[in-house]
Amino acid sequence: MPSRFLLRLAAAFSTAILIPLAFAQSTAAVPIDRIAAVVNSEAITERELQHQLALVERQLREQNIQAPPSDVLERQVLERMIVDRAQMQLARDSGLRVDDTQLERAMASIAAENRLTPAQLRERLRAEGIDFEQFRDEVRGQLVRQRLREREIDSKVQISDADVDAFLASQSGTDVADRAELHVAQILLRLPEGASAEQIEQQRVRAEEIERQLQAGADFGRLAAAYSDAPDAMSGGSLGWRTPDRLPQLFVDAVRSLKPGGFTPVLRSPAGFHVLELVDRRSASAPAAAGQPVVQTHARHILIRPNEVTSEDEAIRRLREIRQRIEAGAGDFAELARQYSVDGSAGRGGDLGWVYPGDTVPEFERAMNALAPGQLSEPVRTPFGVHLIQVIERRTNESSPDRVRQQARQALRQRRIEENYEDWLRQLRDRTYVEYKLERYALAAQPAGER
């Protein structure tokens, strides 16, 4: 976990591929498995829909987000399934696949995340009434969609030297307020490519109605789950903590004057109509300029990632016990990291090497910076789990010009990937033929070229 880039990869792997056991639980069978929708030439059955609906309802409960009315949530879940199915079809048609060896490696990683062997994982699934082959298929699908994104989006994003120069020039005059990290949530009502005036007006009216509900005190997360077309809808629209360079400039400008808890009026972008909430704002350290002295920290950590088997409270309890053992001289940090940590650094005894400011996520960096050499932290929560951190030593060094440019290029590339991916999903959905087979879905269908 030595860099934000690697952390993002780890997060993508854990959230998009290492599916927690909670998200593979089966639901009760329905007597008749009708077809809910046809995507190009493939059917989504009502049983599949109800299975996904149960998982989303659980996810909302775990995030303390009030679920929207069942018919509204069902429509949102069906739309997300349509987009997922369209991606799988594109991957198959273009020859993209995940072989059994790759799948078995992913399954072994899932087992390790839950502190199980592959055989024990199979037994656990069977004991909980989960079909093992269905679980494997879900994991394979997540792997395929991740690789499709890497091929269609990530591999095609190029950042020129001129882009980096412009970015560094814009950052040089940025004041402290504009360097603050932002936690933003969004509700997106998407517009198809080449939308008609009628479609644009319909979505604008819907967006203004959402704004009126927010003004009347409605919960933002609930409205996001009910209406947003963005991939983050089922997380209350949350985009997480981001520096301004990882947000569209439209968003940065719109929330600049908001106080935490405030929301914007309706915004228009090429993707559609947005309403944003500024969940919170916090200060962030400025990136070091070339030649400027910076303090580096040599640190190590033990990471326990909560999952269906290990709750966050249990992870905290384990790390506190580990901390007590180390302080009492009854355990060695490196050996305990090899035994308990699920991070890639475990084989090195949790050693992260020399860390520059900005290399780790803010929660980790703040906790690390508060420690004196040799000191152990209390358990620290980050988006990637719960950590026990120890600072080994510190030194002052200069930030090289190459490193400054590399960080700028990385930030720009991540912003471009996220923007392009959302636009790519929108275009893919627009060119996908969808036929709603149940009346309640057909009546609620979005006017996005799907019929």
Asked if residue 230 lies in contact with residue 237, where contact means CB atoms within 8 angstroms, the answer is yes
Instruction: Kindly indicate the confidence band of residue 263, based on its pLDDT and cuts at 50, 70 and 90.
Output: very high
User: Nearest-CA neighbor of 419 among 194, 47, 154?
Assistant: 154
**Who wins on pLDDT, 80 or 285?**
80
Query: Is the pLDDT at 399 greater than 60, yes or no?
Result: yes
Q: What is the pLDDT of residues 13-34, one digit of tens each?
A: 433 333 444 444 444 554 567 8
Q: What pLDDT does residue 90 have?
A: 95
Dihedral sign for Cα 420, 423, 429, 431, please.
Answer: negative
Domains (range + CATH), the chain: 13-174+400-446 (1.10.4030.10), 177-285 (3.10.50.40), 295-397 (3.10.50.40)
The backbone region for 67, taken as left when phi is positive above 0, alpha when psi lies in -120 to 50, beta otherwise, is: beta
In order, the DSSP letters of 352-410 are EEEE-TTSS-HHHHHHHHTPPTTPBPPPEEETTEEEEEEEEEEEEEEPPHHHHHHHHHH
Question: Dihedral through CA 245, CA 251, CA 256, CA 262, nearest 10?
Answer: -130
**Who wins on pLDDT, 17 or 346?**
346
Distance CA 47, CA 44 (A): 8
User: Nearest-CA neighbor of 87 among 45, 149, 140?
Assistant: 149
Question: Dihedral through CA 139, CA 141, CA 147, CA 150, nearest 10?
Answer: -110
Select the highest-mean-pLDDT range: 174-183, 245-254, 305-314, 332-341.
332-341
| pTM listed for this prediction | 0.64
Query: Is the pLDDT at 287 greater than 60, yes or no?
Result: no
Q: How far are the Cα atoms of 297, 380, 443 from residue 370, in angstroms, in the given order?
A: 11, 12, 57
Residue 32: DSSP 8-state:
S
Query: Is the pLDDT at 303 greater than 90, yes or no?
Result: yes
Q: Which of 11-20, 217-226, 351-360 has the lowest mean pLDDT?
A: 11-20
Q: What is the pLDDT of residues 126-154, one digit of tens each?
A: 887 777 888 888 889 989 998 999 899 98
Instruction: Kindly indicate the confidence band of residue 441, based on its pLDDT and cuts at 50, 70 and 90.
Output: low
